[in-house]
């Protein structure tokens, strides 16, 4: 069930990127998609009723969640942050040049 | 020694960003010095592989043993890729000494360039799925900002388009990495291959879904036809050296190298996935060259021709036979050299004449002997005229098509080759024709500044490579370079044996 919700979140983000005309809405949709994937990654490592993955004296043999996805998600969050920053920077410059955020008006190129 | 491929360019980017303002020439000297060193190390790696008779050199980062830690792997295929990446980027960085003078901030250019180089080297050497993703993002992010380097309205628009499509691709790749991890509980490519192929077939339901996600992601990165719309905007908008890097090696490293590595070596994919790759190849070959026929902007024409040649590589690989894979890899190497040479000549024309519109180029009675010579060599070899390298790889791909009884593909390959020749005859006609092609208009004899020495040097170097890379196909040389590289792909998921046991 949780996985389906996660997929729906991902599709909401993808829909936003593909359909929305406003540059800022595209950036927000990208952020939603990114969060959906990070959430999925965390869910992959989750076990019901398990504890945090740190060894403490006297608690060596308890069930733990998988720590590797958490480490990966940290990296992926940093990458997502830098992409969002680059997107916002380019959006600011685009607004300076074209005076609009509407991508149907930002079309000097043909391809 | 393997970490040096990532460390050296990263270190160089760091040093240039700090000390670049001290002296005007610091960035030039340091970046080129690093590039020479990298070329040397990549040849050394190939030599070490050969002399010790190894099939792969592995390095465990941080000393953690193989399936646990991050592993860097270089086999023959990645060694060839490393050589071509570092060689092309050496020539491009020599070229940018003079070409980038017209932009205001050369230091930042070199920093981004070096970051992109370290990302590409990292993609090729890493034997770990998540590591591949991280390096892919390093290379992509720096290439997005390099496309926008001119900060004019067209550049920004192209960069935003590229950025959005590129992030969709990265998200799909990351999603599929998460699914693969949930199946295999490992991120090491060799280990995943071992685990996935031990599972019974009916248990691996998601494999096809994951592979389709990965192929879509990598196809966006390498601009295969249904996903190609960013490339014809992004490549002409970037500065010429960066177009050469993007079209020459970036789309191949991020797209084709990773795709082949995963569909051949990690997953045991069926016939239908190869068929998909094969049809993608055919469609992008035809579409790219047909659109290129009526382009009048030189760089845009080259960009569409890139799409069509990526199709050639995919066609060779999608055949799935050893000869087809060999042809695909060989065409990948050749096309890197040729296309970067052609993009550098477009930069030279822009430098001397201030335009890249073919009609306007034909109106000027210019004398640029070296640029013209390089254009001639590049055009002849990309359209497959016999002594040059493009001919040999296309010939191998066509022979492989005929061998595996796919005559239609062979016919399309020949047709696209002829169409490519006509595209580049058009270029040569506009470039070399002595009379103006627009009626009633005399050719203007304008004073043009000839290109500086360093630009001539790198164009001539790449032109020499174009002429002499055909020797890679002679039997003795082929057996030590191309055949081992295609063997690694053809051996499929025995890749895990190569990494774990080194045989």
Query: What are the residue ranges spanned by the domains of chain B?
Result: 4-501
Would you state the structure tokens that stand for residue B233, as one six-digit string?
A: 């905007």
Q: Which of B97-101, B344-348, B358-362 has the lowest mean pLDDT?
A: B358-362
* ipTM confidence: 0.94
For the residues B24-46, what does the mean pLDDT come to? 90
Residue B42 C-alpha, separation from nearest chain A C-alpha, in angstroms: 28
* Residue B487 reports pLDDT greater than 80: yes
How many Å apart are CA B118 and CA B11, to the nearest integer? 10
Q: In a 10 Å sphere around its CB, with 0-12 CB exposed, 13-18 middle and 19+ buried, how is residue B463 labelled?
A: buried
Q: Given pLDDT bands bounded at 50, 70 and 90, which one contains residue B297? A: confident
Q: Which residues of B touch A94 (CB under 8 A)?
A: 153, 156-157, 160
* Residue B436 reports pLDDT greater than 70: no
For the residues B75-80, what does the mean pLDDT come to? 90
Per-residue model confidence (pLDDT) at position B201: 67
Question: What backbone phi and psi angles, to 5 degrees, belong to B444?
Answer: -85, 130
Per-residue model confidence (pLDDT) at position B350: 86
Q: Given pLDDT bands bounded at 50, 70 and 90, which one contains residue B36? A: very high
What are the tens digits of pLDDT across the range A5-18?
Answer: 999 999 999 999 99
Nearest neighbour of B134 by CB, restricted to A40, A41, A75? A75
Chain A residues 45-64 with CB within 8 Å of chain B:
none
* Residue B349 reports pLDDT greater than 70: yes
Question: What backbone phi and psi angles, to 5 degrees, belong to B151?
Answer: 40, 40
How many Å apart are CA B355 and CA B335, to the nearest integer? 25
CB contact under 8 A, A109 and B233: yes
Q: Which of A91-95, B177-181, B430-434 has the lowest mean pLDDT?
A: B430-434
Q: Which of B86-90, B154-158, B266-270, B367-371 has the lowest mean pLDDT?
A: B266-270
How many Å apart are CA B184 and CA B23, to the nearest integer? 52
Per-residue model confidence (pLDDT) at position A54: 81
Q: Given pLDDT bands bounded at 50, 70 and 90, which one contains residue B204? A: low
Residue A111 C-alpha, separation from nearest chain B C-alpha, in angstroms: 6
Sign of the CA dihedral B104, B147, B343, B439?
negative
For the residues B229-248, what does the mean pLDDT come to? 89
Q: Which of B154-163, B190-199, B342-351 has the lowest mean pLDDT?
A: B190-199
CB contact under 8 A, A86 and B141: yes
DSSP B266: I
Q: Higher-confidence residue: B441 or A32?
A: A32
Per-residue model confidence (pLDDT) at position B207: 79
CATH ID of A2-98, from 3.30.420.40, 1.10.287.3510, 3.40.190.10, 1.10.1060.10: 1.10.287.3510
B181 touches chain A (CB under 8 A): yes
Q: Give Cα separations from B323 to B271, B477, B487 (angstroms).
A: 17, 16, 10
Q: Give the list of residues 6+ apart from residue B301 with CB closer than 8 angstroms, or none.
A: B292, B295, B358, B423, B427
Sign of the CA dihedral B206, B210, B216, B222?
negative
How many Å apart are CA A93 and CA B145, to the nearest integer? 12
Per-residue model confidence (pLDDT) at position B10: 93
Which residue is closest to B153 within chain A, CA to CA?
Answer: A97
Per-residue model confidence (pLDDT) at position B369: 81
What are the tens digits of pLDDT across the range B275-290?
Answer: 888 999 999 999 999 9
CB contact under 8 A, A97 and B160: no
Alpha helices, H only, A1-111: 2-19, 23-45, 67-98
Interface test with B, best of A90, A92, A98, A103 (most B CBs within 10 A): A90
* Residue B366 reports pLDDT greater than 70: no
Q: Given pLDDT bands bounded at 50, 70 and 90, which one contains residue B441? A: low
CB contact under 8 A, B182 and A44: yes
What are the tens digits of pLDDT across the range B382-427?
Answer: 888 888 888 888 999 999 999 988 899 999 999 999 999 999 988 8
Q: Which residues of B touch A86 (CB under 8 A)?
A: 141, 144-145, 163
Domains of chain A: which residue ranges? 2-98
Nearest neighbour of A86 by CB, restricted to B145, B158, B181? B145
């Amino acid at each position: 069930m949780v996985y389906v919700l996660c997929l729906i979140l991902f599709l909401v983000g993808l829909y936003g990127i593909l359909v929305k005309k406003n540059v800022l809405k595209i950036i927000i949709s990208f952020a939603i998609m990114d969060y959906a994937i990070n959430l999925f990654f965390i869910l992959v490592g989750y076990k019901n009723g398990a504890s945090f993955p740190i060894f403490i004296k006297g608690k060596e043999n308890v069930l733990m969640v998988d720590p590797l996805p958490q480490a990966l998600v940290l990296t992926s969050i940093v990458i997502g942050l830098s992409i969002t920053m680059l997107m916002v920077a380019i959006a600011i410059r685009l607004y300076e040049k074209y005076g609009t955020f509407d991508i149907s008006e930002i079309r000097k190129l043909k391809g | 020694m393997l970490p040096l491929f990532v460390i050296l360019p990263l270190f160089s980017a760091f040093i240039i960003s700090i000390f670049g303002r001290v002296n005007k020439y610091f960035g030039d000297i340091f970046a080129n010095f690093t590039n020479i060193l990298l070329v040397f190390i990549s040849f050394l790696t190939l030599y070490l592989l050969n002399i010790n008779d190894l099939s792969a050199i592995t390095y465990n980062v941080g000393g953690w043993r193989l399936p646990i830690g991050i592993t860097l792997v270089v086999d023959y295929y990645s060694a060839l890729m490393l050589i071509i990446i570092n060689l092309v980027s050496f020539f491009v960085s020599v070229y940018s000494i003079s070409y980038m003078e017209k932009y205001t901030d050369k230091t930042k250019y070199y920093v981004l360039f070096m970051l992109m180089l370290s990302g590409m080297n990292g993609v090729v050497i890493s034997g770990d799925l998540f590591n591949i993703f991280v390096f892919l993002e390093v290379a992509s992010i720096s290439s997005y900002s390099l496309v926008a380097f001119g900060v004019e309205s067209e550049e920004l628009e192209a960069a935003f388009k590229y950025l959005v499509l590129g992030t969709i691709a990265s998200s799909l790749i990351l999603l599929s990495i998460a699914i693969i991890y949930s199946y295999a509980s490992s991120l090491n490519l060799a280990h995943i291959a071992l685990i996935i192929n031990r599972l019974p077939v009916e248990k691996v339901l998601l494999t096809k879904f994951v592979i389709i996600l990965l192929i879509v992601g990598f196809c966006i990165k390498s601009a295969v036809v249904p996903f190609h719309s960013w490339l014809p905007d992004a490549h002409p908008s970037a500065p010429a050296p960066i177009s050469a890097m993007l079209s020459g090696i970036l789309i191949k490293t991020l797209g084709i190298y990773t795709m082949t590595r995963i569909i051949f070596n990690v997953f045991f994919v069926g016939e239908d996935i190869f068929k998909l790759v094969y049809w993608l190849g055919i469609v992008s070959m035809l579409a790219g060259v047909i659109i290129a026929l009526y382009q009048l902007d030189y760089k845009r024409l080259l960009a569409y021709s890139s799409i069509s040649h990526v199709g050639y590589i995919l066609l060779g690989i999608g055949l799935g036979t050893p000869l087809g894979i060999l042809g695909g890899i060989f065409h990948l190497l050749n096309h890197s050299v040729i296309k970067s040479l052609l993009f550098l000549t477009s930069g030279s024309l822009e430098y001397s004449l201030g335009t890249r519109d073919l009609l306007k180029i034909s109106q000027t009675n210019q004398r640029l002997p070296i640029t013209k010579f390089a254009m001639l060599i590049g055009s002849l070899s990309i359209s497959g005229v016999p002594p040059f390298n493009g001919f040999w790889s296309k010939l191998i791909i066509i022979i492989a098509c005929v061998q595996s009884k796919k005559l239609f593909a062979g016919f399309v390959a020949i047709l696209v080759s002829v169409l490519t020749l006509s595209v580049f005859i058009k270029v040569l006609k506009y470039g070399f024709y002595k009379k103006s092609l627009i009626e009633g208009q005399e050719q203007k004899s304008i004073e043009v500044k000839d290109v500086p020495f360093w630009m001539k040097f790198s164009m001539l170097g790449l032109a020499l490579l174009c002429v002499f890379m055909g020797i890679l196909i002679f039997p003795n040389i082929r057996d030590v370079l191309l055949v081992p590289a295609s063997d690694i792909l053809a051996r499929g998921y025995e890749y895990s044996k190569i990494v774990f046991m080194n045989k």
